[in-house]
């Protein structure tokens, strides 16, 4: 290549247009990325958590990564989580994604990433629900503990990748959020009966597929008997379930080393037992047949969220924006490129 690549900024509106209606393609892309990662064709270092003594509930996370195969892109996601934002009427999370050229290392795009983050999370959850439900009756009752943006995206991805439900359960500590999510479900036209539950117990006991999408920082679900009907659990928020729940379940993660840190529920189990034997394996292990999931106990999928997924979806968005002719390069972003002036 000659010269530095152009640098572009891709807005959230462009991201949404690129991804709208392409849920099946994105799930297939996420599956392919998991397979590349499982085959070792990626670099996904530990995430770095920036925390603040004066704002203990907030954090900003850096997720550097590199993915090979046909995607061939490097980059980093910089994502913040400020739960207090919700009270101010703006989303908890915000993010940008920097894409770097595989051959020169030059960054070539800054992409709004909160939609990408929600999309790859939802696609991963939908893929996990599908693969972990095989070998058992397909869930017909789904329940959402936590009803924010991530829950909305997960429901959308389930509905648009072939899932239908007789009943959708809703539980949130905020009645206003639960009501808002119910309104979304009614408008979607893709929900069966809608049941708003006063307690997590009632929702879990009445759901075959349970989605945790909360901002919980410590476990708040401790009773193993709530899971006696052996549901599939998408433990997306990672810190809802007490160790005793995981020890009574079949546990699948997206990446072992990444998931067992930062006091996630699986990390708490490792600290308690001094072992990782409670893990059955990764979702890639399930997809390739190296691990089978029994139907006679709960199965819990705890995806930490890999930077390679953000890169894959971000590069997909970039390519779609280029194809549409809407790429907006920043003129002269890279300047003074002559070595000796």
pLDDT tens for 194-225 read 999 999 999 999 999 999 999 898 999 999 99
Greatest C-alpha distance within the chain:
72
The answer to whether the beta carbons of residues 225 and 248 sit under 8 Å apart is no
- pTM, two decimals, is 0.94
Rounded to the nearest integer, the mean pLDDT of the chain is 95
Percent of the chain with pLDDT over 90: 89
**Per-residue confidence band for 337, with pLDDT thresholds at 50, 70 and 90:** confident
pLDDT at 1 exceeding the cut of 60 = no
pLDDT of residue 2: 58
User: What separation, in Å, do the N-terminal and C-terminal C-alpha atoms of the chain show?
Assistant: 21
Average pLDDT of the residues in 258-264: 93
pLDDT of residue 150: 94
Look at strands 279-282 and 73-81 and give their pairing. Answer: unpaired
pLDDT tens for 11-49 read 999 999 999 999 999 999 999 999 999 999 999 999 899
Q: Which residues contact 186 (CB under 8 A, 6 or more apart)?
A: 194
Residue 11 DSSP class: -
pLDDT of residue 83: 87
pLDDT tens for 291-331 read 999 999 999 999 998 999 999 999 999 999 999 999 999 99
pLDDT of residue 134: 94
Look at strands 193-196 and 209-212 and give their pairing. Answer: unpaired
The answer to whether the beta carbons of residues 210 and 145 sit under 8 Å apart is yes
CA neighbor of 259 nearest in space, from 37, 47, 36, 34: 47
pLDDT of residue 60: 96
Look at strands 8-10 and 107-112 and give their pairing. Answer: parallel
Average pLDDT of the residues in 269-282: 98
Q: Which residues contact 73 (CB under 8 A, 6 or more apart)?
A: 66, 67, 99, 100, 101, 102, 311, 314, 315
Rounded to the nearest 10 degrees, the angle between the axes of helix 114-133 and helix 23-38 is 80
Residue 13 DSSP class: H
Distance CA 100, CA 112 (A): 15
Q: What are phi and psi of 175, to 5 degrees?
A: -60, -35
pLDDT tens for 158-201 read 999 999 999 999 999 999 999 999 999 999 987 789 999 999 99
pLDDT at 4 exceeding the cut of 90 = no
Distance CA 275, CA 180 (A): 41
pLDDT of residue 232: 98
In the block, which residue shows the tokens 């089978």?
292
Average pLDDT of the residues in 97-123: 96
Q: Which residue has the higher pLDDT, 339 or 139?
A: 139
pLDDT at 109 exceeding the cut of 90 = yes
For the chain, domains (ranges, CATH) are 8-116+307-324 (3.30.1780.10), 122-302 (3.40.50.720)
């Amino acid at each position: 290549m000659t010269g530095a690549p152009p640098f572009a900024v891709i807005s959230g509106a462009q991201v949404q247009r690129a991804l709208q209606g392409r849920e099946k393609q994105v799930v297939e892309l996420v599956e392919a990325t998991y397979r590349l990662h499982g085959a070792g064709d990626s670099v996904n270092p530990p995430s770095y958590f920036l925390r603040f003594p004066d704002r203990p509930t907030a954090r900003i996370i850096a997720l550097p990564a590199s993915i090979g195969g046909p995607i061939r892109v490097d980059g980093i996601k910089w994502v913040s989580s400020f739960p207090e934002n919700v009270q101010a009427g703006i989303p908890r999370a915000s993010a940008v994604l920097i894409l770097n050229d595989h051959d020169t290392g030059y960054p070539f795009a800054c992409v709004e990433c909160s939609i990408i983050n929600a999309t790859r999370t939802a696609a991963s959850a939908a893929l996990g629900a599908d693969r972990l439900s095989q070998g058992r009756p397909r869930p017909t009752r789904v329940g959402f503990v936590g009803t924010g943006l991530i829950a909305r995206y997960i429901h959308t991805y389930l509905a648009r990748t072939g899932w239908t439900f007789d009943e959708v359960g809703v539980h949130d500590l905020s009645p206003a959020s639960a009501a808002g999510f119910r309104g979304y479900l009614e408008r979607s036209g893709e929900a069966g009966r809608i049941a708003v539950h006063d307690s997590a117990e009632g929702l879990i006991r009445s759901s075959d597929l349970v989605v945790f999408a909360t901002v919980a920082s410590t476990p708040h679900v401790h009773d193993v008997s709530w899971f006696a009907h052996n549901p599939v659990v998408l433990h997306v928020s990672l810190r809802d379930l007490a160790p005793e729940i995981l020890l009574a379940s079949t546990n699948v993660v997206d990446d072992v080393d990444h998931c067992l840190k930062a006091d996630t529920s699986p990390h708490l189990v490792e600290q308690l037992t001094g072992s990782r034997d409670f893990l059955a394996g990764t979702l890639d292990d399930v997809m390739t047949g190296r691990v089978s999931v029994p139907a006679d106990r709960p199965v819990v999928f705890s995806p930490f969220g890999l930077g390679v997924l953000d890169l894959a979806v971000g590069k997909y968005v970039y390519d779609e924006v280029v194809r549409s002719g809407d790429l907006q390069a920043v003129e002269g972003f890279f300047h003074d490129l002559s070595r000796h002036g």
